[in-house]
Amino acid sequence: MKSTTPLRLTGAGLLAATLAATGASAEDLVEVSFGTNWVAQAEHGGFYQSVADGTYAECGLEVTIVPGGPQVNNQALMLAGRIDFYMGGHLDAYFAVAEGLPIMNVMAAFQKDPQVILAHPGRIENFGDMAGGDFTMIVQDNASYYEWMKAAYGFTDEQRQPYTFNSAPFIVNEDAGQQGYLSSEPYAILQETGWAPDVFLIADAGYGAYSTTIQTKRETVEERADVVECFVNGSILGWYNYLYGDNSAADALILTDNPDMTQDKIDYAIEVMTANGIVDSGDTLELGIGAMTEERMVSFYESMVEAGVIEAGLDIAQSYSLDFINDGLGLDLRPADG
């Protein structure tokens, strides 16, 4: 489904209108690069959607998606001026303030962090049942969310063993919980064992981080606001169309960029992202996909200070801009029963 929703005639709309009024062709589009934080997957679908269906082009941008990976640091490339935008996170923007780096979040594609803890079927009833005691938590070293789990629920260092991205220790131990990504490890374990683990989304347990944000440098926000707005607008519409419309062309691009990806994994990811409100829930129901609020920014920062993850006293207002979101763009694209 291709959106007919008009873009705002401020920065992005003026950029598109100028191109149209001057009879500009595809050769006149502004070239923009967006570096992701991992290899291509359904979790990047909204961005691929707007490349595939021309939504970015409609407001004046030619967007190139630069996939990330284990040996790729796209955030560093953005800071060096080699790419324009980066798929970042909530907490790393706070760390950027602490380090004096000019990084800002301008949109949150995910209202909920997709980080989960897995348990054997029926072994526990709720998230807090795993805290303390003899229950083993298989979690990677230096996981900031585990520090929050310790502060909020009483998880301990003593019960944690390092996660090496191998699920075998979890599979053989019924008294263990393992970290995972909502759309990845649960499906992989099901395929390997034939049983589906119980899945506990840490966002539903109170972890308030935004995820899959659009980051850019402060000078880009200040000097190229029209480009930022166009890219944010296109991304918002892309996520609505990817989740609720025809996403086949976007999936084809994902499969091309990541030959190890398969359609069944994409379909599973879309299903669980939608069912759990990863992209579209909470504030987005009124403000639109991509929403961020000052209240939540402050709340999450305070929780990270309390957990000892980051220092107190930072001016976190430097880490984000709300100028390009929260006005309901694309709400008409959500299904009536969505």
| HEC sequence for 228-291 | HHHHHHHHHHHHHHHHHCCCHHHHHHHHHHCCCCCHHHHHHHHHHHHHCCCCCCCCHHHHCCEC
The answer to whether the beta carbons of residues 66 and 36 sit under 8 Å apart is yes
Q: Has residue 320 got a pLDDT over 70?
A: yes
Residue 241 identity (one-letter amino acid):
N
Instruction: Give the DSSP H or E segment for 145.
Output: helix 144-153
Predicted confidence at residue 338, as pLDDT, reads 61
User: Which pLDDT score is estimated for 43?
Assistant: 98
Which residues, at least 6 apart from 210, have a Cβ–Cβ distance to it below 8 Å?
89, 90, 105, 108, 110, 111, 113, 292, 296, 300
Q: Quick one: CATH architecture of 11-111+209-333?
A: 3-Layer(aba) Sandwich (3.40)
pLDDT in tens, 121-167: 999 999 999 998 899 999 999 999 999 999 999 999 999 999 999 99
Please report, for the chain, the start and end positions of each structural domain, with discontinuous segments joined by +.
11-111+209-333, 115-201
Question: Looking at domain 115-201, which CATH architecture does it have?
Answer: 3-Layer(aba) Sandwich (3.40)
With b meaning 16 or more CB within 10 Å and e meaning fewer, what string describes 98-137? eeebebbbbbbbbbbbbbbbbbbeeebeebeebbeeebbb
Whether 103 contacts 215, CB under 8 Å: yes
Band (pLDDT 50/70/90 cuts) for residue 18 is very low
Residue among 73, 1, 52, 84 at smallest CA distance from 257 = 52
Average pLDDT, the chain: 93
Residue range 55-82: average pLDDT? Answer: 96
The answer to whether domain 11-111+209-333 and domain 115-201 are alike in fold is: yes
Q: Is 326 helix (H, G, I), strand (E, B) or coil?
A: coil
Phi, psi (degrees; rounded to nearest 5) at 54:
85, 10
- Confidence at residue 26, expressed as pLDDT on a 0 to 100 scale: 60
Question: What pLDDT is stored for residue 337 in this prediction?
Answer: 75
User: For position 133, what pLDDT does the model report?
Assistant: 85
More confidently predicted of 10 and 163 = 163
CA separation, residue 35 to residues 9, 77, 81 (Å): 27, 8, 12
Rounded CA-CA distance 115/316 in Å is 23
Residue type, 131: A
